């Protein structure tokens, strides 16, 4: 009997259909009938919702679930524009769990992710040394120990000496399982690892007449090949023969890609440094670092992972057009990378601030020919007095935003310009009463203010406005124009 991890209340989830989760917001147009999707909701309910239509269609599941740190993760936000510097902290997620609830929470979600996966799909679970051993037991049970592929160690930072009686935690683990023994795997290479850098320094020590650095590599057949046993320019072949034909030898020579040592002996082929792809990547990843505080991709979201990490995973186990699913999406790195690499995606998170971060990230991403995406959340109720709209000449003017939760956090700090509280403004000038399809998207850069006034086209009808504040809380209102 295989080993099994047990805890009080252990139970598999049912696959009962979840309530419909229609799109409440759409950006861009479908491509080949497909819109990428962002869901606000619990991953368990989202999986139940997806199963009837997408069973067996996901090529990659990549998740970065809570690590059971016992901490509450927050982010710091700063009011926009000029004026007194005011910062507030906002909780992004609570990583504190009662006994047994962490394992049950993850077990249920892993169990419903499996039927969504294609037979040639893989799943990658990001964890650390607190729970990696338990999570591996869950994956062994649900996916089969035979489908374990790798436990990748990601060294996310150099070790430090500020711990007194334990080793500093400098690594995370990526548990890599497949749905079956048939799965895509394109081994990555890198020039940035310590091993690759040592190879470059040690072996690329020759320089051509044109200044190009190269590494001489043997052209020796590993097995006896009588048909490849021939002398060339007075150089005798190795005992097993060369590794390619005389015709190819002549072609390499004509291209200047052969190296003839002055002391005689065998011939070598030149591998130029500017053409060197790198060393094959092992299960120890030392060449991808945490996000630099000044990096453009940094969003200020706690636990945000670097795009390079997700890019390596996606390039290894997916092809363009494949479907990627992430049910602990956080800052949306998996969605951003999938979109940039031409993969389809579905992501979800149960935190409204995270879903806004993902939406904002996708709206500001510069990707050509990507399909549009839909955002699925419960309708946003209109708050009386929360958002006041006016028509001034031929323009929409936002006169006031309450942002009550944010203002309450500011205490006695006075903010006269509501734009200091706003993170983005979306305007649909042809609102159909159901789905917001913004034709005006005002997402300013860091510290800048939203415009607050927007020209209205002559064809404008019912104008729906959505304003999201710096904490990710949204307020919506409608301005009905004559004839709208």
Q: Which residues of 361-386 are buried (b: 16+ CB within 10 A; e: fewer)?
A: bbbeeeeeebbebbbbbeebeebeeb
The arrangement of strands across the sheet holding 440-442 comes to 440-442, 422-428, 462-469, 474-480
Tell me the mean pLDDT in the region 255-278.
92
pLDDT of 84 above 80: no
> Which is more confident, 484 or 80?
80
| Pick among 1.10.10.10, 1.20.1260.10, 3.90.1150.10, 3.40.50.150: CATH of 25-189+281-376 | 3.40.50.150
Distance CA 291, CA 313 (A): 17
pLDDT of residue 385: 46
Distance CA 243, CA 480 (A): 77
Tell me the mean pLDDT in the region 110-120.
98
| Confidence bin at 150 (pLDDT 50/70/90) | very high
The DSSP secondary-structure symbol of 31 reads: B
Give the helix, strand, coil percentages of the chain, each rounded to 5. Answer: 25, 30, 50
Contact 374, 35 (CB under 8 A): yes
Distance CA 38, CA 348 (A): 6
The fold adopted by the segment(s) 387-480 is Immunoglobulin-like (2.60.40)
Structure tokens at 186: 């394109």
Tell me the mean pLDDT in the region 323-335.
98
> pTM for the complete prediction?
0.89
Bridge partners of 217, per DSSP, are 269
Low-confidence winner among 73-77, 369-373, 460-464 (lowest mean pLDDT): 73-77
| Confidence bin at 381 (pLDDT 50/70/90) | low
Tell me: the pLDDT tens digits for 6-33? Answer: 999 999 999 888 788 888 999 999 999 9
pLDDT of 169 above 60: yes
Low-confidence winner among 151-160, 268-277, 369-378, 431-440 (lowest mean pLDDT): 151-160
Half-sphere exposure of 446 (CA within 13 A, CB side): 9
pLDDT of residue 141: 97
pLDDT of 73 above 90: no
The domain locations on the chain are 25-189+281-376, 205-275, 387-480
């Amino acid at each position: 009997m295989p080993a099994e991890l047990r805890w009080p209340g252990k139970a598999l989830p049912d696959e009962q259909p979840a309530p419909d989760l229609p799109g409440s917001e759409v950006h861009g147009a479908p491509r080949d009938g497909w819109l990428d999707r962002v869901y606000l909701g619990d991953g368990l309910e989202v999986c139940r919702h997806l199963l009837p239509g997408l069973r067996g269609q996901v090529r990659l599941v990549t998740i970065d679930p809570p690590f059971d740190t016992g901490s509450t993760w927050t982010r710091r936000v700063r009011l926009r524009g000029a004026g007194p510097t005011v910062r507030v902290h906002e909780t992004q997620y609570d990583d504190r769990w009662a006994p047994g609830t962490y394992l049950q929470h993850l077990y249920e979600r892993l169990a419903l992710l499996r039927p969504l996966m294609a037979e040639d799909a893989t799943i990658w679970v990001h964890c650390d040394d607190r729970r990696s051993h338990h999570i591996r037991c869950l994956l062994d049970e649900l996916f089969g120990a035979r489908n374990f592929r790798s436990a990748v160690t990601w060294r996310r930072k150099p070790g430090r000496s500020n711990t007194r009686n334990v080793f500093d935690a400098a690594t995370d683990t990526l548990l890599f399982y497949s749905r079956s023994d048939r799965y895509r795997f394109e081994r990555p290479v890198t020039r940035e690892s310590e091993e690759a850098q040592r190879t470059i320094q040690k072996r690329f020590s020759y320089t051509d007449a044109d200044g190009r650095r190269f590494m001489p590599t043997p052209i020796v057949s590993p097995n006896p090949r009588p048909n490849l046993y021939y002398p060339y320019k007075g150089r005798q072949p190795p005992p097993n023969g060369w590794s390619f034909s005389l015709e190819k030898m002549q072609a390499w020579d004509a291209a200047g890609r052969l190296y003839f040592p002055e002391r005689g002996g065998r011939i070598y082929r030149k591998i130029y440094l500017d053409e060197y792809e790198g060393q094959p990547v092992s299960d120890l990843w030392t060449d991808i670092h945490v996000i630099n505080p000044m990096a453009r991709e940094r969003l200020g979201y706690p636990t945000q992972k670097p795009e390079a990490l997700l890019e390596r995973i996606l390039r290894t186990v997916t092809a363009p057009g494949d479907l990627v699913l992430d049910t602990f999406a956080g800052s949306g790195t998996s969605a951003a990378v999938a979109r940039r690499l031409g993969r389809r995606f579905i992501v979800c998170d149960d935190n409204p601030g995270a879903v806004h971060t993902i939406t904002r990230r996708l709206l500001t991403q510069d990707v050509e020919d990507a399909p549009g995406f839909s955002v699925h959340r419960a309708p946003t109720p209109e708050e009386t007095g929360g958002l006041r709209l006016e028509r001034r000449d031929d323009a929409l003017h936002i006169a006031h935003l309450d942002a009550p939760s944010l203002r309450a956090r500011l205490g006695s700090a006075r903010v006269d310009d509501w734009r200091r509280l706003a993170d983005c403004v979306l305007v649909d000038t042809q609102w159909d009463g159901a789905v917001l399809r913004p034709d005006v998207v005002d997402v300013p850069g860091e510290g800048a203010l939203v415009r607050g006034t927007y020209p209205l086209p002559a064809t404008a009808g019912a104008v729906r406005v959505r304003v999201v504040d710096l904490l990710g809380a949204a307020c919506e209102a409608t301005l009905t124009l004559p004839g709208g």
